[in-house]
């Protein structure tokens, strides 16, 4: 069964919005990926202009998370090229620069506080100081001075912490795999508010989602993976997105 059976799809060889003056956060060309004999992605072409929110939709197992891992340099395509923020992955850089990601469930240290978890991550990267961590936690509604361990956090609080680790280094591009999965309605609304504010700050955001209502509310453009191909959902655009 298709996830969005009534979505209006456009069949184009290249899913993009190119004009001579457009700056792109992501450009992926001719992406193929298989695992053994199983073909997952075939000839995906994908360009995202900066400063908007985008979604990739599709049923479980269609390759959404695989594509995000390719865009973040966690795995390489069998064929094709990915350019993120003007740099070719696997050639100019191993991992994309100025990208924050939330893919699957982050492996936080459950016995440590939220602040300590972010502090340790910042020590590894060297790109976020104490004030950046505190400001980021406040932005997502977490108390940087709270000492209780992450193991006591609700699903919603852990999702906020995951978003905090993705944005604390002030990246240009955010890649978030189902950022509202498992959250109740109020927690979902809070995440929506954070993402809209980040777009207003000029960030480019790419999410995956199973919710058509969520995609229409947030996204300037959306795509659906079907039969290993990426197609634009032409009935979703900036006119439906919350500002």
Same structural domain for residues 86 and 132?
A: no
Identify whether 195 is part of a domain. Answer: yes
- Residue 112 has a pLDDT of 97
Decide if 59 contacts 23 (C-beta within 8 A). no
Same structural domain for residues 80 and 186?
A: yes
- Residue 18 has a pLDDT of 53
Identify whether 41 is part of a domain. Answer: yes
Decide if 196 contacts 243 (C-beta within 8 A). yes
- Residue 243 has a pLDDT of 59
Give the structural domain span for 128: 101-170
pTM of the model: 0.87
Decide if 171 contacts 98 (C-beta within 8 A). yes
Query: Residue 209 sits in a domain of what CATH number?
Result: 3.40.50.300
pLDDT tens per residue, range 92-109: 999 999 999 998 777 899
Beta bridge partners of 33: 41
Same structural domain for residues 176 and 240?
A: yes
- Residue 95 has a pLDDT of 94
- Residue 19 has a pLDDT of 57
- Residue 222 has a pLDDT of 93
Q: What are phi and psi of 213, to 5 degrees?
A: -65, -40
Number of domains in the chain: 2
pLDDT surpassing 70 at residue 2: no
pLDDT tens per residue, range 60-85: 888 999 999 999 999 999 999 999 99
């Amino acid at each position: 069964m298709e996830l969005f059976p009534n979505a209006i799809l456009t069949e184009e060889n290249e899913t993009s919005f190119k004009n001579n003056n457009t700056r792109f956060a992501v450009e992926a060309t001719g992406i193929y990926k298989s695992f053994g004999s199983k073909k997952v992605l075939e000839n995906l072409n994908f360009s995202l202009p900066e400063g908007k929110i985008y979604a990739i939709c599709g049923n479980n197992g269609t390759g959404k998370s695989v594509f995000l891992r390719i865009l973040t340099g966690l795995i390489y395509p069998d064929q094709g090229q990915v350019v993120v923020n003007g740099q070719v992955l696997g050639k100019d850089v191993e991992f994309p620069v100025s990208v924050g990601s939330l893919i699957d469930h982050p492996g936080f240290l459950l016995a440590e506080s939220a602040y300590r978890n972010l502090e340790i991550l910042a020590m590894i990267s060297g790109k976020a100081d104490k004030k950046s961590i505190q400001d980021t936690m406040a932005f997502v509604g977490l108390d940087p001075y709270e000492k209780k361990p992450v193991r006591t956090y609700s699903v919603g609080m852990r999702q906020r912490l995951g978003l905090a680790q993705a944005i604390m280094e002030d990246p240009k591009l955010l890649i978030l795999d189902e950022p509202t999965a498992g959250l109740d309605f109020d927690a979902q609304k809070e995440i929506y508010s954070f993402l809209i504010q980040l777009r207003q700050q000029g960030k480019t955001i790419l999410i995956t989602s199973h919710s058509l209502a969520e995609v229409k509310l947030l996204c300037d453009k959306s795509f659906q993976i079907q039969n290993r191909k990426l197609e634009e959902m032409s009935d979703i655009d900036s006119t439906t997105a919350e500002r």
